[in-house]
Amino acid sequence: MNRGGSSSASSCPSSLPGDGHGSGHGHSECRRVCSNCRKVLRQEKKIRVSLPLTRGPSAFIPEKEVMQANSLNERMHLLVEEYSTSGRLDNITQVMSLHTQYLESFLRSQFYMLRMDGPLPLPYRHYIAIMAAARHQCSYLINMHVDEFLKTGGIPEWLNGLEYVPQRLKNLNEINKLLAHRPWLVSKEHIQKLVKTGENNWSLPELVHAVVLLAHYHALASFVFGSGINPERDLDTSNGYRLISVSNFCACDLANDNNIENASLTSNNFGISDSLSELEALMNRMKRLQEEEEEASQEEMDTRFEKEKTESLLVFTDVFDDELVSTVDVSRYVEDPGFGYKDFARRGDLPTFRAQDYTWENHGFSLVNRLYSDIGHLLDEKFRMVYNLTYNTMATHEDVDTTMLRRALFNYVHCMFGIRYDDYDYGEVNQLLERNLKVYIKTVTCYPERTTKRMYDGYWRQFKHSEKVHVNLLLMEARMQAELLYALRAITRHLT
């Protein structure tokens, strides 16, 4: 696989592949050129703005760290041989291989929903993946599934856009849009509309298969952007169909990321000593919380959840002033592109989803397994795997119980989607997740296409890259489970 960095003639001239150096003036000039690039994109739809790539599978993680994990991991290569849907060791798999236990669960469930017997024909599965990835302008996943769509016998004309696909696929647009950005709005009426009698209706098993695919690829887009996954270097055309370029952010954003002062994320420039003190402070807070014996009253627990939900409104993620532009290639798969995430906490008229009333374990699992045989077991294994995964380390510290931290990450994602656990003290979220990390979590989960290397580097500066990848896995699975809970609850209400 060719991983050398190259720059196209249309890239921003003040950025170089893998160049982390540049003056403030250079950045200003680069931003001006960025704006010009986007103007050209709007005027000349055929021009492709390529992204100069760092070496390796991730723009955020040094290649040697991923390559070292791969070279030592024979189990990972066996898994790819058995469960790869693309017949290749792709960049997502290479980065996930930092956690082989989880990777096995991920590959098995993805292989099942894409390749094994199920309600939907194979081309439909890949086209739904394309539709889901397009909600976040995720060129990486779109390219992957354009290729797979054609290999499994998909009709090439469908790749010209949604107006060329069967009406029943078009009918998924609404639930795709809602699940991706505001899943709390999915209702039994949406389900009834899709399954009503008629030539374009969906059976319930087909719809569950589609919903699982949509949630999977929305969440996987979060992982792709959160981990800085680079495009596959040897993909340019698929069966004669030219694949799209990565152009939802300009090259210079990546190349100069480390040198841009980020006033919105940090109030000072952290040095090594600050990073170490940050780590020690987190360790101390965890220790203090573990030692506290006094339980908060239910009233206090209610107050802490509402406070956390409201404070999530203050976590801003708009780092760049430039408008995020969807390429014409991506927009062909999207209906209502302006529809995006809006903070659940702003919607005072919406009741909080009380997790105890509809849980994955007691309700979602059995429903999905009944309508789409065995996928429930595979998803359940994957959720449990990532939630319980631990090496009992935190940066340089060993023998650490990280349960509290993993739970805070998972529950904070659900909080942003309006899901509350009555028996969880949301005061822990404020204690354990510092502001830079909250900004990162909200961006990766709600607006993944806006994620930058600066955000990735801006939290937990002393932690290993493998630990940050673990964070991304937790965010991905928490997001997928949240989407599924809302969709499956709506299906349950339709059935009752």
Could you tell me which residues come within 8 angstroms of residue 446 by beta carbon, excluding any fewer than 6 positions away? 181, 317, 341, 416
Q: Are 208 and 494 in contact (CB under 8 A)?
A: no
Backbone angles phi, psi at 455, to 5 degrees: -65, -45
Give one DSSP letter per residue of 215-242, joined into a string.
Answer: HHHHHHHHHHHHTTBPPPTT-SEETTEE
Provide the sign of the torsion angle of the four alpha carbons 291, 294, 298, 302, taken in this order. negative
Please tell me the distance from the alpha carbon of residue 48 to that of residue 129, in angstroms, as a whole number. Answer: 23
3-state secondary structure of 394: strand
* C-alpha pair distances (Å), 311 with each of 304, 345, 435: 10, 9, 11
Residue 362, sorted as left (phi over 0), alpha (psi -120 to 50) or beta, turns out to be alpha
Q: Are 458 and 258 in contact (CB under 8 A)?
A: no
DSSP-derived letter for residue 358 is: S
Catalytic one among 12, 30, 34, 138? 138
Tell me the two tokens of residue 261. 């002062």
Backbone angles phi, psi at 398, to 5 degrees: -115, 170
3-state secondary structure of 258: helix
- Number of neighbours of residue 374 by Cβ within 10 angstroms: 14
Look up 415 and say whether it is catalytic: no
Q: Are 142 and 130 in contact (CB under 8 A)?
A: yes
Question: Residue 310: which of 416, 407, 405 has the closest Cα?
Answer: 416
Task: Tell me whether residue 389 is exposed, middle or buried, using C-beta atoms within 10 angstroms of its C-beta: 0 to 12, 13 to 18, 19 or more.
Answer: middle
Give one DSSP letter per residue of 99-160, joined into a string.
Answer: GHHHHHHHHHHHHHHHHSS-SS-HHHHHHHHHHHHHTTT-HHHHHHHHHHHHHTT--GGGGG
**Bridge partners of residue 354, in order along the sequence:** 420
Please tell me the distance from the alpha carbon of residue 462 to that of residue 273, in angstroms, as a whole number. Answer: 10
- Separation of first and last alpha carbons in the chain: 52
**Bridge partners of residue 419, in order along the sequence:** 353
- Number of neighbours of residue 186 by Cβ within 10 angstroms: 22
* C-alpha pair distances (Å), 124 with each of 158, 214, 221, 275: 11, 12, 19, 48
Catalytic center residues: 138
